[in-house]
A and B are shown apart, each in its own frame.
Chain A
Amino acid sequence: METKQPFEHVVREHGPVVLRVCRAVLGVDEAEDAWSETFIAALKAYPELPPGANIEAWLVTIAHRKSLDLIRARNRRPSVVEELPARASVLGIPGDGQSDVLDAVGQLPPKQRQVIAYHYLAGLPYKDIALLLGGTADAARRAGADGIRNLRAVLAVVPEAVVKGETP
Chain B
Amino acid sequence: MSVEHHEPEVSRLLAPLEAADPLTLERLHNSLAVCAEQSHALDIAYRTIDSPLGTLLLAASQRGVLRVAFSREGHDAVLQHLADHISPRILLAPARLDTAARELDEYFNQRRKAFDVPLDFSLSKGFRLNVLEHLPAIPYGRTESYTKVAEAAGNPRAVRAVGTACATNPLPLLLPCHRVVRSDGTYGGYLGGTEAKRFLLSLEGAA
A16 engages B1 (CB within 8 Å)? no
A43 engages B13 (CB within 8 Å)? no
B82 engages A6 (CB within 8 Å)? yes
Smallest CB separation, B61 vs chain A (Å): 14
Instruction: Give the size category of B's interface with A.
Output: 35 or more
Smallest CB separation, B27 vs chain A (Å): 8
B35 engages A40 (CB within 8 Å)? yes
B32 engages A5 (CB within 8 Å)? no
Q: Is A56 an interface residue, CB under 8 A from the partner?
A: yes
Q: Which of B8, B21, B83 is in CB contact (< 8 Å) with A19?
A: B21
CB contact under 8 A between A44 and B41, given known A121-B14, A122-B1: yes
Q: Is A23 an interface residue, CB under 8 A from the partner?
A: yes
Could you name 21 residue pairs across A and B whose Cβ atoms are closer than 8 Å?
A3-B84, A4-B83, A5-B88, A6-B80, A20-B17, A20-B18, A32-B28, A40-B41, A43-B42, A47-B88, A56-B1, A96-B19, A97-B15, A97-B16, A98-B16, A100-B16, A101-B16, A120-B5, A121-B17, A123-B1, A123-B2
Q: Taking beta carbons and an 8 Å cutoff, which residues of B are in contact with A?
A: 1-5, 7-10, 12-21, 24-25, 28-29, 31-32, 35-36, 39, 41-42, 44, 46, 79-80, 82-84, 87-92
